[in-house]
Amino acid sequence: MTTTAMYLAEFVGTALLLLLGNGINMTLSLRKSFGKGGGWSVTCIGWGMAVTMSAYLTGWVNGAHLNPALSIAMVLSGRMDAALLPGYIIAQILGGIFGATLAYLAYKDLMDDEPEAGTKLGVFSTGPAIDHKPWNVVTEAIGTAVLVIGILAIGYGANGVSGGMGPFLVGMLICVIGMALGGATGFAINPARDLGPRIAHAILPIKGKGSSNWQYAWVPIVGPIIGAVLGVVIFDLFAAACVGI
């Protein structure tokens, strides 16, 4: 595939991910939505399915990173050409902005009707249950490390996972991460998933939207990058140790 095709795939895949993911948030949170109050299980399952469908759409082009932290980790571990990284990250962030904007357009009337500024932000981007940023970073790093270890394990060695099953299993991985580790920070585990929609929230003419909470925005960027790098290192050390035994 050409670099243009790979960048396009990252843009389109991330856009679909955030259209579906932010759409799930809006369905479950906006006061006039038929799905309001659906609960955390629906959030986790829905985001897992959003990742699965986005990966099926674009994974055949370039593997569907859809996540700058994952792309950075792949470069640092030698699995991806560093020259591709800036284009990947730009495409992912722009895709996140575009997908979140589409979700907003689909729910514009309900967004305008929603009285709570915090809800208007929460359907776009993540935030902490308890705002303690150092530990919020730790939470995001652990969740992202599990994500990267799981992705690498799904495609490794004698696990016997066929290519067609990979996106489905990654979606299940996202779901279980959300259920196990998402309650403290909303499991961004992906800078594009948080930063793209946060930018969209900031620039869109959303009625009564309030602050975009930029004071927190660095957490779901730094935490996932740290976690992704740790995840690659841990997996590679484990695989090398097992092969060497």
pLDDT for res 159: 80
CA pair distance 6, 116, nearest whole angstrom: 39
Q: How many residues comprise the chain? A: 245
**21-30 burial string, b = 16+ CB within 10 Å, else e?**
bbbbbbbbbb
Closest by CA position to 126, among listed 209, 60, 196, 175: 196
CA pair distance 154, 59, nearest whole angstrom: 14
Name residue 112's amino acid.
D
CA pair distance 179, 183, nearest whole angstrom: 7
Neighbours of 130 (CB within 10 A): 8
Name residue 212's amino acid.
S
Mean pLDDT by 10 residues, the chain (245 residues): 95 98 98 96 98 95 94 94 97 98 98 96 98 98 97 83 87 98 97 98 96 98 98 95 85
pTM: 0.94
CA pair distance 115, 31, nearest whole angstrom: 8
pLDDT for res 161: 80
198 in Cβ contact with 104 (< 8 Å)? no
Report DSSP letters for 97-129, one per residue. HHHHHHHHHHTHHHHHH---HHHHHHTTS---S
CA angle 96, 27, 53 (to 5 degrees): 50
Question: Chain-centre distance of CA 65, in angstroms?
Answer: 10
Token digits for 48? 């897992």
Specify the DSSP class assigned to residue 85.
H
Report DSSP letters for 131-196, one per residue. --HHHHHHHHHHHHHHHHHHHHHHTSGGG---GGGHHHHHHHHHHHHHHHH-TTT----SHHHHHH
